[in-house]
Amino acid sequence: MFKKITPSTWYEILLIAAVLAVHLYAATSDAFNFPASWFTRDDAYYYFKVAQNITEGHGITFDGVSPTNGYHPLWMLVNIPIFALARFDLILPLRILLMVQAALSAGTAVLIFRLVKGTVSPALGVLASAWWATDLYIHYAMYEYGLETGLASFTVTLLVYQLWKFERTWRTSAVDLRQVAGLALVAVLAMFSRLDLVFLAVLAGAWILLRGTRLRILAPLDVLLAVISVPASFIYRLGLPEYYLYTDPAVVMLAVSVTTKILLYFLLGLYQPPVSEPFGQTLKKLVLAVSASTFITGMVMLVGAPLLGSFPRIALVYDWLLNLAGMILLRTLARAFSQNVDRSVIPPLDLIKRDWAKWLREGGVYYGILGGFLAAYLAFNKLFIGSAMPVSGEIKRWWGTFGSKVYGGVARSPLSFWGVDFNNDFNAWRPFTGWLARLGSRIGDMRGDYRVDGYFVSVLIALLILWLFILLLNRRQAVRAATQFSLPLLLIASFAQVLSYNLTGYAALKEWYWIIQPLLVVLAFSLAAGILLRPFMKYRLGQVLVWLGVTAILLPQAWTFTSVIMERMPHGVYGPGLPYLDSVRFLEENTPPGALIGMTGGGNVGYYIQNRTIVNMDGLINSPAYFEALQAGQANTYLQGIGLDYIFANPGILKAVPYRNQYALGPVIGRYGGKSLMEFTP
């Protein structure tokens, strides 16, 4: 017989239908809306044009001349069948892609609903999921741009959801290797949706393997503390961007520090239940372990100084102080959240004897699958493109080596370095940081002090303390929910992603890079709200009031979301004869059919232009060979070799880094939008 549909299922159906309906209105709107109001980011068109070229038999290339790998592979695979239709109509694939992004948004929201409903409460599940689906910032950064972010947010949430299901079963039933393999495959999807999610994928394996031990949470947090401490010590001594003159010794010091600390913590029994010994005994072990690690690290750095170069010696002292203070705080919190009955002690060597076979067996499956897919991807890139790593990432890291602010440059303030600068794209925690900045600004206004940064940091610290205090109100629920949500894993992976860019320098970060962070904020907020509302949910009146509150929050937001989309994607306003881009019309009027035109960027022009070809000159969607030529000052020779006819760019930009006046520019044919169309001179 038919299974009865539950209220939760009805809500999921309604949520999916509402999201798809709003986006269907946008997808069927005037063609001119798509380049003008929806798919407005150049980077998205890199995918679109490469996918179109693949389907038309030109190879994995943006310009039809040079092979490229400057994209995230899973999103490219999604784009390929869609943009096979571009040969018939350039807008039709965009209409379909808009609905694909809508489905990803709805799917992510449904997964969030199931996570929060199953761990906290249905009311907060509705609030979290509907907020995700209707928040305008989430919509812009993750879905509207047409980039890989929508797919990445879905795969990350799917991984957390699968870990949530795993968390609810492994204590009561044996873990099958097929379960581990399934989780590994979901991690592979997340990794290939955005390659910088490899840190999440790798850490998720440790989260699975170390279940049932204190190593699972404490060891990754200790690693995170050690990883943060070293660059923080250098930055405190040197400042930014001066820190980037010492990245080599900083990275070596970080590697030695992390390795020695974790080994010493393990051997000294610091991964036993926090309440299994007096805190004074734990404190002695912490002082001994941190001091011994600092001594060993210092000896390695001093001996290796002739190879590594100079480094600030005082950074070792700062690192010792930060680590010791951080470890005391971590172990204090661990004791605060521990249950008094949790006192079972397993000596380190006994733990290894007990679990080594399981770790080897399950780790071989998980990391064998993850590493196998990653190795195959890198080998494919090397064999067919010429560079194992995506050329776009290599170029942005190269840009980060310049002292100037080329394409934004490297992090230049501590807030930027740690990914919480609300003033620029070094802001991994939007829209959360935006709320805090506005609150800090209002506090400053009331005090007649307009230094927003200081109040922002104060509000951030106060909110984190408040969040921890709320969790302490119900330690049992907090620990259970945080574990089921994989919050420690998401926190560590969030900082790992940020530091992967800023530790050694990276330019041109964008708002769509950050996927784990907003999901973490949603789940963390849901957990705290669930603890606060739990006493009210015991009573019928309290439940009614909570649901009324959820409705009062969501209805205005949903109305605003729908209104904005309908206003920006109108029907029957723009006729079919309008040019999609004025710059495309300018180039088509001033160049002959078949022309090869070089541009910095050029993604949207490359997609919409007819009977001409755009060559990307910044290198993000060009070949490794062009990148090597650009570095060597031979980019002009490379472009001559492929038969370039024109350059459409700002001549001033071409004189500065990273282009360094490499190009021989001929007469100016015309100007449009701050750029000049010039003949290319060999």
Does residue 630 sit within a domain?
Answer: yes
Phi, psi for residue 83 in degrees, rounded to 5: -85, 5
Strand partners, 670: 677
* Residues 486 and 596 placed together within one structural domain of the fold: no
Is 235 found in the same domain as 341?
Answer: yes
Report the candidate in 57, 52, 60, 133 with the shortest Cα–Cα distance to residue 97.
Answer: 52
The answer to whether 312 and 219 have CB atoms below 8 angstroms apart is: no
Helix (H, G, I), strand (E, B) or coil at 313: coil
Radius of gyration (C-alpha) of the chain in whole angstroms = 27
pLDDT digits (tens, 9 = 90+) for 308-367: 788 899 999 999 999 999 999 999 999 888 865 555 778 888 888 888 999 999 999 999
Q: Compute the CA torsion angle 145, 147, 153, 159 (nearest 10 deg).
A: 170
Cα(440)–Cα(550) distance, integer angstroms: 26
Domain boundary among 345, 369, 404: 345
Span 382-407, pLDDT tens digits: 999 999 999 999 999 999 998 778 78
pLDDT at 1: 44
pLDDT > 90: percent of the chain: 79
Q: What is the mean pLDDT of residues 521-536?
A: 95
Q: Report if residue 380 sits inside a domain.
A: no
Q: Report which of 633, 430, 396, 412 is spatially closest to residue 520, judged by C-alpha positions.
A: 430
Stretch 475-479: mean pLDDT? 92
pLDDT over 80 at 679, yes or no? yes
- Kindly tell me the burial class for residue 562, based on how many C-beta atoms sit within 10 Å of its own C-beta (0-12, 13-18, 19 or more): middle
Its domain, for residue 650, covers: 582-680
Q: Is residue 454 part of a domain?
A: yes
Which residues does 543 contact at the CB level (< 8 Å), separation at least 6? 123, 536, 537
Domain stops at, among 313, 345, 377: 345
321 and 263 fall within a common domain:
yes
Instruction: Indicate whether 590 and 524 sit together in one domain.
Output: no
Domain stops at, among 345, 362, 384: 345
In a domain, 33, yes or no: no
636 in any annotated domain = yes
pTM value is: 0.95
The answer to whether 269 and 214 are in contact (CB under 8 A) is no
Whole-number pLDDT of residue 4? 77
Mean pLDDT (the chain, rounded): 93
In a domain, 430, yes or no: yes
- Report d(CA 339, CA 345) in Å as an integer: 14
Task: State yes or no: pLDDT of 620 exceeds 80.
Answer: yes
pLDDT value of residue 340: 59
Quickly state the pLDDT bin for 499 (edges 50, 70, 90): very high
User: Averaged over 40-68, what is the pLDDT?
Assistant: 96
Distance separating alpha carbons of residues 671 and 650, to the nearest angstrom:
9
Same domain, 519 and 588: no
What are 376-385's contacts with CB under 8 Å, separation 24+? 377/73, 377/192, 381/69, 384/60, 384/67, 385/60, 385/67, 385/68, 385/69, 385/623, 385/624
Domain count across the chain: 3
Shared-domain flag, residues 250 and 314: yes
Asked if residue 457 is part of any domain, the answer here is yes
Identify whether 352 is part of a domain. Answer: no
